[in-house]
């Protein structure tokens, strides 16, 4: 006796849908959408039950099967259309969408029931009803695939997590129907194996729908349809054409392949589906299709509302710091995968704020940005480096240094403008999706750059405000320190006053008086500096070699002993000798603290035409790029615990900058560190006094 495979297949589907319906009913949380899922599941029970019963009779109820299948497809389609409506849970699909849906489903029902009417007899000799019926069923399945794809693509990230299994389950059902009826169109009959296996495929879809129910118990989908519909519809249309072509090729393989024809056809179709899914999930291919659709179907390349909303969301998102959000938001607009962001500092120079997917060795020095930022401030242009290479005459008077041109795949230089001032500069690498730049790209980048400039300027201002508040607290602390020092000073002064009474021990008394007087002088100077809030306010010509010799000699008793290299000629700068000595003392001491006694610390003094250059190199533990950028020069952030206040490096850099100089740091973990201190040579005393006053302010 031949086994009735169809009976068991559809009976299993009936049982699976019954279990799903019971589970959905018992776990319902309210909402129209949840009830629609339950109704669609109940209709699927009826559909599977009717077909299962039909397999046991000699004359299957064909009309009943057609109607039940039509109801089953209509129920799932209506549920998906409900999900696509922005007001879904309250009103269902919009009125226009409902009219289109009802019209299409009514027409399809008339086509399916046409042989049961008197209208079919006159045209039966001219129209093959089975071909029309299979074509109609294929169209319904394709509509279902489009609806599933739209539900998934127009959902937010969090909603996709909750509903992707619903889309997988229903997508599998409609995909299988599409393949079965497309095959039937080719051969003018339904493949019996595909028809019998259909119940099993429906059973496999039930767990996916159940998982979706568990993840989204209230079944509330906040989905909207945007202009992406064109893109995704084009994608599904292309996929449908591809599958039809593959089905035709499979037919040829089957009938030309002899004994292996059927096996080779199944293998070929499976391979074609895998390739299709691979292409559909390719981010680069989807991006290229999106660009093609925008170019050929719309007047403008961008959906500016969507671009601006996404850009604003990226800038305001939490988790990453502001420079990182700015970098990725702007680069994402152009589909660039790597970028560098520099920000303007208080002294007018530019410092690297963010490095994204670009090698550390490819980062140009900050000095290379000077001609670019000056040119951008004057023209407010977005610089296309590819265009600059081809037609440099378009960028009159602009000279881009080789350090930037040599960055692999360097493409765009976007100035972040706030008014007429460049507060930041973004370099993006070439995107594989943008062959050329047009006016839309430039306008979008320029506008987004202005918005990003405001965020970057606000970020820098916030950092300065935090530092100011920290120093405000430090100044309050200093008032207490001054009070204590005044008490100590009074005691020491009293000792000096009463010292005359102890003339019987002249040597001892003289030593005490000398020590006390020295303490009084030092504390008086310290009190004056703290009260005035200024250090190093007095500038004079200073012999830099002498200061370095004194500092190195002072630190010679600590291992590793610093090694000093000096030039033969005199090197003079204009600064406050005590404050400048404090800077070098702090940096050399830090180098010794970071280095094992067996290591080395070297100090070298050189000069160029404009600056004295002091290089302090150690073989210590080194620092990471993140530590240098975020913590090294941050006030009140110390790695020495309670013994450090965390202002030494910050104060050193600020004082060097007040002289018109700069401190550069090059370091890596376990590879040591190199501090390069550059101080201007010569100049007039008045000029440097003015710099000091500005730095103190």
Residue 604 confidence class, pLDDT cut points 50, 70, 90: very high
The pLDDT-based confidence of 641 (bands split at 50, 70, 90) is: very low
For 274, phi then psi, to 5°, come to -60, -45
Query: Is the pLDDT assigned to residue 301 strictly greater than 70?
Result: no
Percent of the chain with pLDDT over 90: 14
Instruction: State the pLDDT at residue 568.
Output: 85
Distance separating alpha carbons of residues 354 and 377, to the nearest angstrom = 21
Which tens digits make up the pLDDT trace of 99-147? Answer: 677 777 777 777 777 665 544 445 555 556 667 778 888 888 888 888 8
DSSP per-residue codes, 303-358:
-HHHHHHHHHHHHH-SSS-HHHHHHHHHHHHTT-S-EEEEEE-TTS-EEEEEEESS
Nearest-angstrom CA–CA distance, 545 and 543: 6
pLDDT at 441: 81
What is the mean predicted confidence (pLDDT) over 662-679?
91
d(CA 408, CA 150): 39
Q: What is the 3-state secondary structure (H, E, C) of 518-567?
A: HHHHHHHHHHHHHHHCCCCCCCEEEEHHHHHHHHHHHCCCCCCCCEEECC
Stretch 16-32: mean pLDDT, rounded?
A: 77
Looking up tokens 């970020």 gives: 459
Main-chain dihedrals φ then ψ at residue 411, nearest 5 degrees: -130, -60
Which of 7-11, 344-348, 535-539 shows the lowest per-residue confidence on average (mean pLDDT)? 535-539
CB 33, CB 88: distance < 8 Å: yes
Count other C-beta atoms under 10 Å from residue 178's C-beta: 24
Q: What are 63-95's pLDDT values in tens digits?
A: 888 888 889 988 988 888 887 764 444 444 556
Give residue 86's pLDDT.
45
Q: Is pLDDT above 90 for 339?
A: yes
> Residue 527's pLDDT is what?
65
The answer on pLDDT for 20 being more than 60 is yes
For residue 343, the model assigns a pLDDT of: 92
Own/partner contacts of 385-393, CB < 8 Å, gap of 24 or more, are 385/410, 385/411, 385/412, 385/413, 386/411, 386/430, 387/437
Mean pLDDT of 170-184: 88
Nearest to 339 by CA among 422, 442, 423, 431: 431
In the block, which residue shows the tokens 């799903």? 20
Q: Distance between CA 209 and CA 168 in Å, rounded?
A: 8
Strands 563-565, 601-607: pairing kind = parallel
> What mean pLDDT is predicted for residues 633-651?
59
589 SS3 class: helix
For 424, list phi and psi in degrees, rounded to 5.
-165, 165
Q: Is 622 within 8 Å of 669 (Cβ atoms)?
A: yes
pLDDT at 227: 47
Residue from 677, 676, 679 nearest 667 by CA:
676
**Per-range mean pLDDT, top range of 4-8, 170-174, 463-467, 633-637:** 170-174
Helix, strand, or coil here: 463? helix
Residue 431 pLDDT grade (very low, low, confident, very high; cuts 50, 70, 90): confident
- pLDDT, mean over the chain: 76
Domain boundaries defined on the chain? 5-226, 314-461, 540-680
The domain defined by 5-226 carries CATH number 1.20.120: no
Q: From the CB of residue 555, how many other CB atoms can be counted at a distance below 10 Å?
A: 19
Residue 531's CB is within 10 A of a number of other CB atoms, namely 11
pLDDT value at 429 more than 80: yes
With CA atoms as reference, report the closest residue to 217 among 163, 151, 168.
163
- Backbone φ/ψ region at 604: left (φ over 0), alpha (ψ -120 to 50), beta: beta
Q: State both tokens at 125.
A: 């000799």
* pLDDT value of position 564: 92
Sign of CA dihedral 340, 324, 629, 344: positive
- pLDDT band (50, 70, 90) for residue 539: confident
Kindly indicate the confidence band of residue 601, based on its pLDDT and cuts at 50, 70 and 90: very high
> What's the CATH code, domain 314-461?
3.30.450.40
- Highest mean pLDDT pick, 510-524, 597-611, 619-633, 642-656: 597-611
Length of the chain: 697
Query: Cis peptide leading into 560, omega within 30 of 0?
Result: yes
CB–CB of 8/43 below 8 Å? no
Tokens of 379: 């023209």
Residue-wise over 154-166: b if at least 16 C-beta within 10 A, else e? bbeeebeebbbbb
- Mean pLDDT (whole number) for 390-409: 89
* Number of neighbours of residue 76 by Cβ within 10 angstroms: 23
- Asked whether 433 and 350 are in contact (CB, 8 A), the reply is no
Residue 617 has pLDDT above 90, yes or no: yes
Entry pTM: 0.41
Minimum mean pLDDT range among 55-59, 354-358, 404-408, 567-571 = 55-59
Map residue 202 onto helix, strand or coil.
Answer: helix
For residue 465, pLDDT beyond 60: yes
CATH architecture observed for domain 540-680: 2-Layer Sandwich (3.30)
């Amino acid at each position: 006796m031949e086994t009735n495979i169809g009976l068991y297949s559809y009976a299993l589907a009936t049982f699976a849908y019954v279990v799903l319906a019971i589970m959905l009913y018992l776990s319902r949380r309210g909402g129209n959408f949840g009830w629609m899922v339950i109704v669609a599941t109940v209709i699927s029970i009826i559909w599977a039950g009717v077909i299962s019963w039909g397999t046991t009779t000699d004359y299957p109820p064909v009309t009943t099967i057609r109607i039940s299948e039509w109801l089953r497809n209509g129920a799932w389609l209506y549920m998906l259309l409900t999900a696509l409506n922005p007001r879904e849970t309250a009103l269902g699909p919009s009125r226009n969408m409902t009219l289109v849906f009802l019209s299409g489903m009514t027409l399809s029902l008339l086509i399916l029931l046409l042989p049961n009417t008197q209208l079919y007899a006159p045209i039966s000799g001219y129209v093959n009803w089975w071909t029309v019926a299979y074509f109609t069923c294929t169209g319904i399945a394709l509509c279902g695939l489009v609806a599933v794809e739209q539900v998934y693509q127009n959902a937010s990230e969090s909603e996709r997590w909750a509903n992707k299994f619903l889309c997988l389950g229903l997508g599998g059902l409609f995909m299988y129907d599409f393949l079965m009826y497309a095959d039937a169109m080719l051969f003018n009959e339904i493949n019996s194996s595909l028809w019998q296996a259909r119940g099993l495929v429906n059973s496999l879809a039930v767990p996916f729908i159940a998982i979706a129910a568990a993840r989204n118990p209230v079944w509330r989908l906040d989905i909207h349809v945007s202009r992406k519909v064109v893109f995704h519809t084009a994608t599904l249309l292309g996929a449908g054409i591809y599958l039809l072509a593959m089905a035709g090729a499979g037919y040829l393989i089957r009938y030309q392949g002899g004994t292996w024809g059927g096996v080779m056809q199944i293998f070929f179709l499976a391979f074609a589906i895998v390739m299709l899914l691979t292409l559909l999930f390719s981010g680069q291919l989807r991006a290229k299709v999106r660009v093609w659709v925008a170019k050929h179907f719309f007047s403008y390349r961008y959906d500016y509302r969507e671009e601006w909303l996404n850009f604003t969301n990226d800038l305001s998102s939490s988790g990453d710091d502001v420079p990182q959000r700015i970098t990725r938001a702007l680069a994402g607009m152009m589909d660039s995968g790597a970028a560098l962001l520099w920000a303007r500092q208080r002294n007018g120079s530019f410092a690297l704020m963010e490095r994204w997917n670009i090698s550390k060795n490819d980062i140009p020095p900050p000095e290379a940005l000077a001609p670019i930022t000056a040119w951008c401030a004057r023209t407010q242009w977005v610089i296309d480096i590819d265009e600059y290479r081809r037609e440099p005459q378009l960028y009159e008077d602009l000279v881009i240094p080789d350090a930037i041109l040599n960055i692999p795949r360097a493409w765009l230089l976007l100035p972040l403008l706030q008014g007429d001032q460049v507060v930041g500069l973004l370099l993006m690498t070439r995107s594989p999706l943008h062959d050329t730049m047009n006016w839309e790209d430039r306008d979008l980048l320029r506008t987004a750059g202005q918005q990003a400039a405001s965020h970057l300027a606000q970020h820098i201002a916030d950092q300065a405000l935090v530092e100011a508040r920290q120093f405000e607290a430090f100044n309050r602390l200093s008032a207490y320190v001054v009070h204590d020092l005044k008490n100590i000073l009074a005691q020491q002064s009293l000792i000096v006053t009463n010292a005359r009474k102890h003339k019987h021990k002249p040597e001892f008394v003289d030593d005490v008086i000398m020590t006390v007087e020295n303490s009084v002088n030092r504390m008086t100077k310290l009190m004056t500096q703290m009260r005035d809030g200024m250090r190093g306010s007095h500038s004079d010509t200073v012999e830099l070699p002498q200061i370095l010799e004194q500092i190195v000699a002072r630190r010679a008793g600590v291992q590793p002993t610093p090694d000093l290299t000096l030039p033969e000629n005199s090197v003079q700068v204009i600064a406050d000798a005590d404050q400048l000595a404090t800077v070098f003392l702090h940096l050399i001491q830090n180098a010794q603290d970071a280095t094992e006694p067996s290591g080395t610390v070297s100090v070298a003094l050189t000069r160029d035409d404009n600056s004295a250059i002091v290089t302090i190199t150690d073989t210590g533990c080194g620092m990471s790029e993140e530590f240098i950028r975020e913590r090294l020069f941050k006030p009140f952030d110390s790695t020495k615990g309670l013994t450090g206040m965390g202002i030494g490096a910050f104060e050193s850099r600020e004082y060097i900058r007040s002289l018109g100089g700069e401190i550069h740091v090059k370091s890596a973990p376990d590879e040591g560190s190199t501090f390069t201190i550059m101080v201007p040579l010569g100049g007039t005393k008045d000029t440097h006094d003015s710099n000091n006053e500005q730095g103190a302010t």
